[in-house]
Structures are given as C-alpha cells and as structure tokens.
Amino acid sequence: MSNLRKWALGATVMAAVAGTGCSSNPSNQQIGTAGGAVLGGVAGSAVTGGSTAGTVGGAAVGGLLGNEYGKRRDERR
C-alpha cells in the first residue's frame, strides 16, 4: 500500500471518527454516516486496486448511504 493511499484512508477514518465524536450521544444517522464512510473507503480501495480516487469516492458514497440508513432508523424511534 502506497504512502498516499495509507494517508487518504487514514484521513477518511479520522474524519469519520471526529464527526461522530462531536456529540455525547451520537444519533443513528451520525453512526451510519461514519460507518458507511469507513466501509465505503475500504471497499472503494479494494475494488479500484488501491487508487486514491476509488478510496475517496467509496468513502463519499458509503457515507451518503450510511447517512440515509441511519436517518431512517432515527425516524423509527
């Protein structure tokens, strides 16, 4: 794994963790966004052979999907 790819993946994970750490009790929407971004980044990296664009794109798509999933779970409360 190249240094740039490691840095991009690390930055994605840190951003997701920092986003959910802003409140004392995160909502399902926040948890879904962070989890989706991490999983999407890993999947995007794997599918594209580790390209930075694939990692970032996967994180963005995963974050959006996780956000929607979490929002729907919050609405069921």
CB atoms under 10 Å from CB of 31, counted, come to 19
Mean pLDDT of the chain: 84
pTM over 0.75: no
How buried is 52 (Cβ within 10 angstroms: 0-12 exposed, 13-18 middle, 19+ buried)? Answer: middle
State phi, psi for 53 to the nearest 5 degrees: -60, -40
- The predicted model gives 17-36 an average pLDDT of 79
Band of pLDDT at residue 10, cut at 50, 70 and 90: confident
* 43 confidence band (pLDDT: 50, 70, 90): very high
Per-domain residue ranges of the chain: 3-75
- Residue 37: pLDDT band (50, 70, 90) is very high
